[in-house]
Amino acid sequence: MGRSLARRLAARGDDLVLWGRDTVELQASAADLAARAGRSEAYPVLALDLEHPEGFAGAVEVSLETLGGIDLVVITAASFGTQEELEADLERARRLLVVNFANTVALCEAVRPALLASRGTLCVFSSVAGDRGRKPVGLYGASKAGLSHYLESLDHRYHAEGLRVVCVKPGFVRTAMTEGLPAPPFAGEPDGVAKDVLRAIDKGQPVVYTPRMWGLVMFIIRHLPRFVMRRVGF
């Protein structure tokens, strides 16, 4: 999803710095984006790993120097595991909760001053899994529920100062993360998600469900009585 969104940003002429933990893969993506955008040089890349928050400040500082300012930050990275996998491995569950919530929030806080200075936009991928406690995604969903709560609070606190916060809530999307999992109805593709997200960024839309049908699906799920949720398996 991040690659698809980066392609759309590059195609319209945005200057980019790519963050990620695998710099070899990042460099390949940067070269591909440059070729698609008709640039002679690849976009710059910086190593950043959500498991290592000590690197956040440096990445932000170098990005500011490289771009001369930051008016959009998009955070798509996350850790995933099935409920069964996480219940069987407490350390893996702990790492997922830290990466998806605590360290993602820390990265948002690290970029917040730069975005406030430019009256920019912070776009962060949460998940529909955080909208309601559900059997199959209890731990993963809890991490995303906390993240969505934080992003809404950030929007309330800094909207008047010019910060725009976009919380993306994808449903099931066919990516490497979901490979091997049974796809439910309304499963999306990365480029469709990128199109929805870019539209939300440009409009300053605070919450976007994508594919859009998931907005209706989650509206229904959020309003189901608890006794029904105890009986169903989704």
Active site residue 140: yes
Burial of 137 (0-12, 13-18, 19+ CB in 10 A): buried
> Position 104: which residue type?
T
Helix, strand, or coil here: 40? coil
pLDDT score of 145 more than 70: yes
Please give the pLDDT value at position 152.
98
pLDDT score of 26 more than 90: yes
Phi/psi at 35 (nearest 5 deg)? Answer: -60, -40
User: Which tokens in the block code for residue 165?
Assistant: 């916060």
Question: 6-10, 37-41, 145-149 — which is least confidently predicted?
Answer: 37-41
Average confidence score pLDDT of the chain: 93
The CATH class for the domain spanning 70-231 reads alpha beta
Please give the pLDDT value at position 176.
65
What are the helix (H) ranges across 39-103?
A: 56-67, 83-88, 90-97
Band (181; pLDDT cuts 50, 70, 90):
low
**Residue 121 · residue 204 · CB < 8 Å:** yes
Largest CA distance in the chain: 60
Measured distance CA(234)–CA(229) in Å, rounded: 8
pLDDT score of 139 more than 70: yes
Q: Looking up tokens 């955008």, which residue turns up? A: 37
Residues in CB range of 169: below 8 A, 6 or more apart: 126, 127, 128, 130, 131, 148, 207, 208, 209, 210, 214, 218
Band (175; pLDDT cuts 50, 70, 90):
low
pLDDT (average), residues 187-214: 91
| Domain map (residue ranges) of the chain | 70-231
Question: 15-19, 36-40, 118-122, 184-188 — which is least confidently predicted?
Answer: 184-188
Q: Which region, left, alpha or beta, applies to residue 206 given φ > 0 means left and ψ of -120 to 50 means alpha?
A: alpha
pLDDT digits (tens, 9 = 90+) for 78-132: 999 999 999 999 999 999 999 999 999 999 999 999 999 999 999 999 999 999 9
Q: Of residues 34 and 183, which shows the higher confidence score?
A: 34
Among residues 43, 140, 150, 209, which one is catalytic?
A: 140
pLDDT score of 168 more than 70: yes
Measured distance CA(153)–CA(31) in Å, rounded: 37
Nearest to 44 by CA among 84, 96, 6, 83: 6
Q: What percent of the chain has a predicted confidence (pLDDT) above 90?
A: 83
Q: For residue 52, how many C-alpha atoms fall within 13 Å in the half-sphere facing its CB?
A: 8
pLDDT score of 180 more than 80: no
